[in-house]
Chains A and B, each alone.
Chain A
Amino acid sequence: MSSPELQSLYQDIIIDAAKARHGYQPGLAGSAIGLTAGAASSSSTQTATVQTAAAHTELAAGGSATAAVATQSTVNADHCAASHQYNPTCGDELTVQVELDPAREGIVSVAWDGQGCSISQASVSLLTDLMVGKPVAEARTLIDEFRDVMRSRGKKELDIEVFEDAAALSGSSKFLARVKCAMLGWVALEDALLKLS
């Protein structure tokens, strides 16, 4: 009894990615500042600042399947940056951390921590899959294209040849209230890359 629109939003690939959480690194940069963590007094702005600063020094302390490249000894603030993004309407939050190669031309690893709805979680998981190994310039183009499709109110689709599994997120663009959920991780990566440019 679910509509085709709802099925296009919640494709299997989305539900699966939201559970698989590729790149998920709990405790990344000490990011347990969520609403559930009892940090009653800090505003999101303050939190974001702390998060970002901490991310530089605690980069990849945990390591994971997709982000096991950097270690404490190889941490280099010139090549690594993180961005904390917060969706005030629902309280979803996300820290995405990116590490570039020494020439700062290619993405070596992406790791993230945060919590949110299935769309935001699936989106950042698929983003991680897509971006690791990509040249920075191409990553920026992909983020721009992704934003363009997300803002199209369902008029444009992500090219599966380019976006691979992340193309399944096209369905989100028909749901105005969910575009921000889908964008959260991409905005975080964009911001982190900006810090390294």
Chain B
Amino acid sequence: MTDAAPGILSADEVDRIRNDFPILHREVNGSPLVYLDTGATSQSPNSVVEAEQEFYEQRNAAVHRGAHTLAAEATDYFEQARERVARFVGAADDEIVWTSNATEALNLVAYSVGNASLGRGGPEADRFRIGPGDEIVVTEMEHHANLIPWQELAARTGATLKFIPIGDDGTLRLDVATDLIGPATRILAFAHVSNVLGTINPIGDLIRLARNSGNPFGTLVVLDACQSAPHLSINLGELDVDFAAFSAHKMLGPTGVGVLYGRSELLNAMPPFLTGGSMITVVTMDHAEFLPAPQRFEAGTQRVSQAIAFAAAVDYLDHTGMNRIHAWESALTQRAMAGLAEIPGVRILGPAPGQPRGGLVAFDTDGVHAHDVGQFLDDRGIAVRVGHHCAQPAHRRFGVTASTRASFYLYNTEAEVDVFLQAMSEVRSYFGVTGAAREGVVAR
């Protein structure tokens, strides 16, 4: 963006942005769609859909093999996409590994560490070996994708899994983290932004604890950036994380492609997870040598069109301006939180209004199950997430099994927030929780 661009999107600009997203103009159950479920998956602008279509219409071919023109063009576009996504998150090209999604990216690290722990990868992989007496530290607010791979790794290796608890205010207990992270800590894995609480975790403090853990091999820092890369301007190189995972479909891109970021030095020392074609140099009947990163982690036919469309998505975000997008979603989130706070029986999970928060708000509605809230909202065309959002421990921490979550992005408007709040103000009486009569109910 030019220097003259204001620090936040304008309402007119958001209207223009919305014109790039055909799906936002459809009706749902007779009402205009109000899409407040970007936290689960975002919508894609025309430029993203067209990039994928253009690839299939003009240059579809397998990459990194074949000598024909289409193969060369496909490879060129594929690698350009890697460069564009790398630049977007402040990484070098060879630090970006394509995966199917963020879940696979996190599993890749966990399984590669597991392979190193079995002695794979030679002496340079010794730094990844873990076993009994070693500790893996996660947080109580993790998405299952950044919890279960570590549970499994601990079970396979005999390492111990520990977690940093959530305080009553929805932030991590840094006092506990300080005690927990020490010489035994081999891995620290945490979400940058909680997908339930919206908490923006103190990444600098946590990385400092990891860097000063006193572990002779150093503590590996793994960042779940699924709810931050789409919404905040981040520079993974400057943040000094060792690994990070994020997914295209939460940031205007297609499904089927995600990224593992890893510091080059680490990726090149780590044994592979998936093995097979395209990731090797010399293969004999009983042995294989592997390519350097990122190719050593990209076995088999790659998700080429998705990667290219992903690059179109980050271009769109870059062009709009990440700081301006974050300012806009923050304004929408605060508007939603202020409105929800006025509605009796609604309890917001996570940091209080005014505290730092990603562009989402999850809440409990007293007396009405989240599924019923979601159904009521859907009847008016409002799409929200209901359930445990793949984060059961975070819900359990606040005494609920499920919640309703509204999440916002660059294409949402203040008017949409108001439609959502109006519907929310009617939910409890519809389900007969308050004294007010339910309107328009079929009598039997």
Chain A positions within 8 Å of B, measured between CB atoms, are: 1-13, 15, 19, 34-36, 38, 40, 89-92, 115-119, 168, 175, 177-178, 181
Docked complex Cα distance between A1 and B381 (Å):
12
A-B contacts, 11 of them at CB < 8 A, read A1-B440, A2-B376, A2-B430, A2-B439, A12-B441, A12-B442, A34-B401, A90-B386, A90-B388, A91-B388, A116-B371
Binds A, one of B48-56, B77-85, B390-398: B390-398
Q: A91-B387, A117-B371, A181-B371 are in contact. Are A3 and B401 (CB under 8 A)?
A: no
| Chain A residues whose CB sits within 8 angstroms of the CB of B392 once the complex forms | 35, 91
A15 to B367, CA, bound (A): 12
Q: Which of B372, B379, B396 contacts A118, CB < 8 Å?
A: B372
**Out of A1, A7, A35, which one reaches B441, CB within 8 Å?**
A7
Question: For A4, A7, A8, A115, which residue has the most chain B Cβ atoms within 10 angstroms?
Answer: A7
A6 to B400, CA, bound (A): 25
- Asked whether A36 lies within 8 Å of B387 as measured between CB atoms, the reply is no
Rounded to whole angstroms, the CA-CA distance of A169 and B379 in the bound complex is: 18
Query: Number of contact residues on B: which range applies?
Result: 20 to 34
Alpha-carbon separation in the docked complex, A92 to B369 (Å) = 10
Residue ID in chain A nearest B30 by CB atoms: A3
Contact assessment for A117 and B372 in the assembled complex, using a CB-CB cutoff below 8 Å: yes
Contact with A along B362-406 (1 / 0, CB 8 A): 000000111110011001100000111000110110011110000
Closest chain A CB from B254 CB (angstroms): 23
B285 at the interface (CB under 8 A from A): no
A15 and B432 in contact (CB under 8 A), knowing A35-B395, A40-B393?
A: yes
Q: Which of B369, B370, B379 contacts A6 (CB 8 A)?
A: B379
Tally of contacts, chain A with chain B, CB under 8 A: 90
**Docked pose: A2 CA to B396 CA in angstroms:** 32
User: Contact between B430 and A178 (Cβ–Cβ < 8 Å)?
Assistant: no
Q: Find chain A residues with CB under 8 A from B379 CB.
A: 2-3, 5-6
A117 touches B444 (CB 8 A): no
- Minimum CB distance partner of A171 in chain B: B442
CB atoms of B430 and A90 under 8 A apart: no
> In the complex the two chains form, what is the Cα distance from A119 to B431 in whole Å?
12
Known: A3-B29, A89-B387. A40 touches B396 (CB 8 A): yes
Asked if residues B441 and A90 are in contact (CB atoms below 8 Å), the reply is no
Residue on B nearest A9 in the bound complex, by CB: B375
* B438 CB–A CB distance under 8 Å: yes
A15-B431, A117-B369 are contacts. A1–B402 as well, Cβ < 8 Å?
Answer: no
Which B positions have Cβ atoms within 8 angstroms of A?
Answer: 29-30, 368-372, 375-376, 379-380, 386-388, 392-393, 395-396, 399-402, 430-432, 438-444
Task: Report the bound CA distance from A92 to B388 in whole Å.
Answer: 10
- CB-CB nearest in chain A for B368: A118
Given contacts A2-B440, A7-B440, A168-B444, contact A36 B30 (CB under 8 A): no
Name the 6 nearest CB pairs between A and B, nearest first. A117-B369, A117-B371, A35-B401, A6-B379, A91-B401, A90-B387
Distance of B349 from chain A, by nearest CB (Å):
14
A78 to B92 Cα, complex, angstroms? 67
- Complex Cα distance, B443 from A7, in Å, reads 9
Question: A7 to chain B: which residues have CB within 8 Å?
Answer: 440-442
Question: Which chain B residues border A90 with CB–CB below 8 Å?
Answer: 370-371, 386-388, 401-402
Q: In the complex, what distance in Å separates the CA atom of A10 from the CA atom of B402?
A: 20
- When distances are taken between beta carbons in the complex, the residues of chain A under 8 Å from B372 are 10, 117-119
A8 to B368 alpha-carbon distance, docked (Å): 18
Chain B hits for A89, CB < 8 A: 387
Q: Chain B residues with Cβ under 8 A from A13's Cβ?
A: 444
Give the docked Cα–Cα distance between A7 and B431 (Å): 11
Other contacts beyond A34-B401, A91-B401: 9, CB < 8 A: A2-B379, A8-B442, A11-B442, A12-B441, A12-B442, A35-B395, A40-B396, A115-B401, A116-B371
Measured between beta carbons, the chain B residues less than 8 angstroms from A175 are 375
* Contact A118 B387, beta carbon cutoff 8 Å: no
Contact of B431 (CB < 8 Å), options: A34, A116, A118, A177 = A118
Chain A residues whose C-beta falls within 8 Å of the C-beta of B29 in the assembled complex = 3, 5
The distance from the CB of B371 to the nearest CB of chain A, in whole angstroms, is 4
**B371 x A119 contact (CB < 8 A):** yes
The CA of A8 and the CA of B443, in the complex, are separated in Å by 10
Of B386, B399, B444, the residue contacting A36 (CB under 8 A) is B399
Shortest beta-carbon distance from A8 to chain B in Å: 6
Residues of B within 8 A of A181 (CB): 371
Chain B neighbourhood of A2, CB < 8 A: 376, 379, 430, 439-440
> Which of B369, B387, B432, B443 gathers the greatest number of chain A CB atoms within 10 Å?
B369
Q: Are A11 and B444 in contact (CB under 8 A)?
A: yes
Give A110 Cβ to nearest chain B Cβ, in Å: 22
Q: How far is the CA of A6 from the CA of B381 in the complex (A)?
A: 12
A103 to chain B, nearest CB (A): 36
Chain B contacts for A4, CB-based, 8 A? 442
- Distance in Å from the Cβ of A159 to the closest Cβ of chain B? 15
Chain B residues with CB below 8 A from A36, complex form? 396, 399-401
Q: What chain A residues lie within 8 Å of B376 (beta carbons)?
A: 2, 6
Q: Which residues of B contact A15 (CB under 8 A)?
A: 431-432, 438, 441
